[in-house]
Amino acid sequence: MGGDKGPKVVVPGAIDAMLARHGEVRLVLVGREEEIRPLVGGVDPAMVEIVHASEVIDMHESPATAIRRKKDASITVALRLVREGKADAMVSAGNTGAVVASSLLTIGRLHGVSRPAISTLWPNKRGGAVVLDVGANHECTPKNLVQFAIMGSVFAERHLGVARPRVGLLNIGEEKSKGNELVRDSYALLEADTRVNFVGNVEGRDVFDGAADVVVCDGFVGNVILKFSESIYSFLAHLVRDEIRRGLLAKAGALLMAPAFRSIRSQLDYAEYGGAPLLGVKGVVIISHGKSSRRAIANAIQAAAKSVDAGLNGHIEERFAVAVQHAAHVS
């Protein structure tokens, strides 16, 4: 029921993902059945189940208040299915705060994780980086940032195929003395933690340069740079359109450059990645953009299926468990 266009976009996108996986994915569509059923069409009923949820948490609502008052909200009902083992993953383009809060209340955190983090794949010169947290936690401790680094490293290993991900701490300078108290204290902890391949501070420009495979920051800073990066493509497209309108030569050049423009768009467009995994909770949860298109929803479901197939949460718990055993042995 989430996203700017609700079921009209989400349902077809979900079906696209299911068909693309050739029967390897079954759908459980959660929401108001009277709105969902007409959109399912002639899809095999054995592959699509509709679970009715009478309430919807709107984008403007306070997450904590809405979750308490709306017990039959689609987000909560969907997460309940994950908790009960009736679904392996949940994808939502709804209220981000409600997804995070309901995930914590309904399915809980993985063992050893203090706070979950929203991660996103960021394009750069070396293929891409995992950036987290981009919005789940506006206030963090150094311990939180270390845990983000561990979870991001496991995600980079399993999704990007990076054998030993380089972890960078987002800061205003490369020197370890730079930044506020949070990043300075986090630097010291990361430097001493053998569970991550820490390469030091990285600045904003370094994210696109590919200086790190995992970039760690608090959710306030992460959300600001996420929203800024989302605006880059639309701004560049605006500039290009203005230049093309200036003359025939520019129009001819644009036709020749069309394949390159399409390639650039695919790298910068959030729809290519579909959604942002909420790492650290007991289930695969993907948070999609409120403006998600049909293609973005399909890609988000593909990403969810990939995380399930990779056993991502099991690997995260293993990494935390090894660290605990090592600490106990040393002491």
Best CA proximity match to 41, nearest among 24, 53, 23, 29: 29
pLDDT in tens, 116-162: 999 998 887 787 899 999 999 999 999 999 999 999 999 999 988 89
Q: Where are the domains of the chain?
A: 1-113+280-331, 117-233
Fold type of domain 1-113+280-331? Isopropylmalate Dehydrogenase (3.40.718)
Percent of the chain with pLDDT over 70: 89
Same fold, 1-113+280-331 and 117-233: yes
Tally of CB atoms within 10 A around 47:
14
CATH code 3.60.150.10 for 117-233 = no
pLDDT in tens, 194-251: 999 999 999 988 888 889 999 999 999 999 988 887 777 777 777 777 777 777 766 6
Query: What pLDDT was estimated at residue 89?
Result: 96
